[in-house]
A and B are shown apart, each in its own frame.
Chain A
Amino acid sequence: MDYAYALQQLINGVTLGMIYGLIAVGYTMVYGIIGMINFAHGDIFMVGAFLSMIALLGLAALGITWVPLALALTLLFAAAITALYGWTVERVAYRPLRGSFRLAPLISAIGMSITLQNYVQVSQGARVKPIEAVIPGGIQVMNQGGFTVELSWMQIAIVATTLAILAVFTWLVKRTPLGRTMRACEQDLKMASLLGIDTDRTISLTFVIGAALAAVAGLMFLLYYGVIDFYIGFIAGIKAFTAAVLGGIGSLPGAVLGGLLIGLIEVFWSAYFSVEYKDVAAFSILIIVLIFMPTGILGRAEVEKV
């Protein structure tokens, strides 16, 4: 058994899983509160990746080249503008349809997804955009029979940042008044509004936070792969949704866990079976999980009241 190879895949899988997990949190939060699949969320992630790229290039043009500062500024800028996108999408496409029948917001979300994709294609061009590695180098973990397991600084940065952001986010949901209203809305939207919670504002903020997390994922994706185009949001979006479902939709730790699992499955499948069918593996997992475990790993069973 080639442990070195497997270890390398484990490292890659965890890195990828962190990115999926960050996007999945946005899906699971929105689904938890208003029970809709925010189909445009994958494209919000793509917008975040593009904004990160623009910010990195802009900072370089302004002469800010000290990497930690540049990355921190990029993160703030991308998160802020992407959050604005999330807010606008909710305000324009979803809020007028609240209380309407279920398919209407879904179609509206699909329309928004198509709009965002083509908007980025029109404004930034259809070509893939490559950037140079921002954090080069890494450390060699072990060497086995000529195969070197490498843990790049980039991967360490991605995992560390994701964990830090998730810690902040967990604190936000568990300890702050905003988090309390969000959890109240998730349990019962109507009751929460009866008790004086401004549900519209809470839902807006949910979209804002989800979009900001997606922007972080977008930056990570850009740094990790070094190349983006306007179409990355679609597949990443479905996989992140798969992750959310796998972890149990509505559950925040579940979203991260699901993201990790999907990342690992994808990377190991590519490494040991075939790269072409890696998406088929991820989607098959989705179907199998939904059939045998419809509530996911950490989800609660839904009780239907008549």
Chain B
Amino acid sequence: MTPLRDAFLSAAVALGLFGPMVGLLTVSGEHGLSLELRPIATAVIVGLVFLGRLLVLSWRGRGRVETYKTNRALAEGIAHAGKFIAPVLLVAAVALPFTGSRYYVDLGTLVLTYIMLGWGLNIVVGLAGLLDLGYVAFYAVGAYSYALLSTTYDLGFWTCLPLAGLFAGCAGVMLGFPVLRLRGDYLAIVTLAFGEIIRIVLTNWVSLTNGPNGITGIPRPTLFGLRFSMEGGEGTFAGFFGIEPATIQRVIFLYYVILVLALLTNWVSLRLRRIPLGRAWEALREDEIACRSLGINVRNTKLTAFGMGAMFGGLAGAFFATRQAFISPESFTFIESATVLAIVVLGGMGSQLGVALAAIVMVGGLETLRDVLSFLGDQMNSPLFAGIAGQLPLYRMLIFGLVLVVMMVLRPRGLISGRTPTVALGARKEIAAELVAQGRG
């Protein structure tokens, strides 16, 4: 098939797809719905598909590079660079608040929250190979544990943090216990259902959780008993150090709290990988039947993975609650689970550095996209764009979904797909991604 004919066919398919959906807008009027024609938008999209297909075909026509070799080279390159990337990232993370920019510190806090969630889920998905689509449930359990304990019993953040982790860990084990016999996709769908059940219960159990209105006035954390309040004076951070009280102090403090929590998650999972339990997780991921025949207690191994992952999710949830000072069930939708899972998979499943990079790219990218889109929307004053300028921010999640698909198609094994064995006889060699099973569950 010639490229031109192929492109025409693609354009025809695009016309079929977008013609009715984009070309005919349903508008609510006085007499119910009516249709409005949008021929220009449809023509633009079909034209773009035509040109895009031509471009892709001409690019592909130049001969494909051998993907295996490039993957291998890239993986080794990243593994070498990784020795430098990780310390550089750490220094950058510690130094970030010194820029003094509220925007960057807030963004950094958000990215670190997702890095922590990613590392937590990495234990379940990346190490133990159990596919969990309901990770947000444990995040929610942690957040609500802290919110309810602090607002009802007046407990402080540092008292509640371990409790929130404990509750979430227990929730993980409780969910894990019955569903561990399931494999792969079944496990995924059950965890997804569990996540939805938690959200529905949080929405409808109004007497406990205040339902969809959420919980407000969640107290902020303190630094060795020093509060970050705006009044200054005795017992506050600003009063103790004799400086002017400012919101940025609290923001930076929260940033360092999540940085420490995230590093703790990283440290614990790196240490866990070296003890027999962690090695059993990785063995389980590669081959469950072989594990069982070697006498590994599969049930306990899976349960600990679930529990550990859930615990870190709960800790991150408690942090989320204290940072926002307000939580409602709306923050714990499936899209959060999907984002965290996408971070783990894009990071290369099992690679700590990969998860951090993927979180920076995805969460940072999503936030940047929000700014770029609203900026573009403001710039489009001409009447030609009247229809889409105000809607532009809505395109964010559309682009997110498309990027997810494109990244999977281009690099299904994630950013860092190679593996270095945790335990090795003699020299440690990078294992190519093609040789390891991932997430078979």
Residues of A within 8 A of B (CB): 31, 35-37, 47, 50-51, 53-55, 57-58, 61, 77, 81, 84-85, 88, 92-93, 96-97, 100-108, 110-127, 129-132, 234, 238, 241-242, 245, 276-277, 279-280, 283-284, 286-287, 290-291, 294, 304, 306
B287 closest partner in A (C-beta): A306
Interface residues of B (CB under 8 A from A): 13, 16-17, 20-22, 24-26, 28, 32-35, 125, 131, 178-179, 181-182, 184-186, 188-190, 192-194, 196-197, 200-201, 203-204, 289, 334-335, 338, 341-342, 345, 349, 391, 394-395, 397-398, 400-405, 408-409, 412-413, 437-440
Q: Which residues of A contact B190 (CB under 8 A)?
A: 286-287, 290
6 residue pairs A–B, Cβ–Cβ below 8 Å: A57-B34, A104-B345, A114-B397, A116-B401, A280-B197, A280-B200
Residue of B nearest to A95 (CB): B409
Q: What distance in Å separates the Cβ of A282 from its nearest Cβ neighbour in chain B?
A: 8
Residue of B at shortest CB range from A58?
B35
| Bound-state Cα–Cα, A152 to B125, Å | 49
Question: What 5 A-B pairs come out closest when comparing CB atoms?
Answer: A111-B404, A115-B401, A114-B401, A104-B412, A283-B193
Docked-complex contact A130 and B21, CB < 8 angstroms: no
In angstroms, Cα B196 to Cα A277, docked, is 11
A-B contact count (CB 8 A): 190
- Nearest A residue to B211 via CB reads A276
Secondary structure at chain B's binding surface: helix, strand, loop or mixed?
A: helix
Complex CA distance for A80 and B403, rounded to whole angstroms? 27
The 8 Å CB contact of A120, one of B21, B181, B400, is B21
Query: What are the residues of chain B within 8 A of A118 when measuring CB–CB?
Result: 394-395, 397-398, 401
Contact partners of B131 in chain A: CB under 8 A: 103, 106
Q: Which residues of B contact A97 (CB under 8 A)?
A: 408-409, 412
Question: What residues of A have a CB within 8 angstroms of the CB of B25 in the complex?
Answer: 123-125
Shortest CB-to-CB span from B86 to chain A, Å, is 25
Q: Knowing A115-B398, A280-B200, A284-B197 touch, does A122 contact B391 (C-beta < 8 A)? A: yes
Q: A276 and B204 in contact (CB under 8 A), knowing A61-B35, A97-B409, A108-B404? A: yes
| Other-chain contact of A122, B17, B193, B289, B398 (Cβ < 8 Å) | B398
Tell me which of A55, A101, A107, A123 contacts B341 (CB under 8 A). Answer: A107
Residues of B within 8 A of A287 (CB): 178-179, 190, 193-194
Do A290 and B345 form a contact, CB below 8 Å, given A61-B35, A108-B404?
no
Across-interface contacts of B437 in A (CB, < 8 A):
101
Contact B438 A37 (CB under 8 A): no
CB atoms of A88 and B13 under 8 A apart: yes
Nearest chain-B residue to A131 (Cβ)?
B33
A18 to chain B, nearest CB (A): 22
Nearest-CB residue, chain A, relative to B392: A122
Measured CB to CB, the closest approach of chain B to A129, in angstroms, equals 6
Is the Cβ of B439 less than 8 Å from the Cβ of A101? yes
Complex contact B24–A54 (CB within 8 A): yes
Provide the bound-state CA to CA distance between A124 and B35, in Å.
11
A116 and B17 CA atoms in complex are apart in Å by 12
* Partner pick for A276 among B34, B200, B439, CB 8 A cutoff: B200
Question: Which B residues are CB-close (under 8 A) to A120?
Answer: 21
- Whether B401 pairs with A81 at a CB distance below 8 angstroms is no
Quick one: which of B186, B189, B335, B397 has the most chain A CB within 10 A? Answer: B189
